[in-house]
Amino acid sequence: MSPWVSRIENGLQAPTERNIRGWCTVCGAEEQIPDLIATARSVESAYLEWAKQSRAGMRRLGVGDLHSIATYQQTSTFHIHEPIVMPGIFQTEAYIRQMLAF
């Protein structure tokens, strides 16, 4: 396996357009190239915007408000990606016991 594949898989490096084109070609998924390149550009743009705003301070972004009880009480849907462990707010006693027994 190429070292760049491992770096991309582990989030150490963003895929370049060349990486995307090469990977799609090898996989026979050339039709996916435009969408994947557009997604990569969108992710990069969002990251750069977040980095720019966060340099000005997290409070300015309203992050402190995210942890208030009122926020949780008013929330009807959570969108969380955690591939290994359930986020703490959703952990029940039974879940913790099962995880500790694992």
Condensed to tens digits (0 to 9), the pLDDT of residues 6-41 reads: 888 888 888 999 999 999 999 999 999 999 999 999
What is the chain's length?
Answer: 102
Torsion, Cα of 54, 56, 60, 65 (10° steps): 40
Say if 71 falls within a structural domain: yes
Q: What distance in Å separates the CA atoms of residue 79 and residue 21, rounded to the nearest whole number?
A: 30
Total number of domains in the chain: 1
Say if 84 falls within a structural domain: no
pLDDT the model gives residue 1? 59
Say if 89 falls within a structural domain: no
What's the domain range around 70? 3-77
Say if 97 falls within a structural domain: no
Confidence of residue 74 (pLDDT cuts 50, 70, 90): confident
Say if 98 falls within a structural domain: no
Q: What distance in Å separates the CA atoms of residue 101 and residue 83, rounded to the nearest whole number?
A: 19
For residue 86, give every residue at least 6 positions away whose Cβ sits within 8 Å of its Cβ, in sequence order, or none.
95
Average pLDDT over the chain reads 80
Say if 34 falls within a structural domain: yes
Yes or no: say if 80 and 87 are a contact pair by the CB < 8 Å rule: yes
Say if 101 falls within a structural domain: no
Say if 88 falls within a structural domain: no
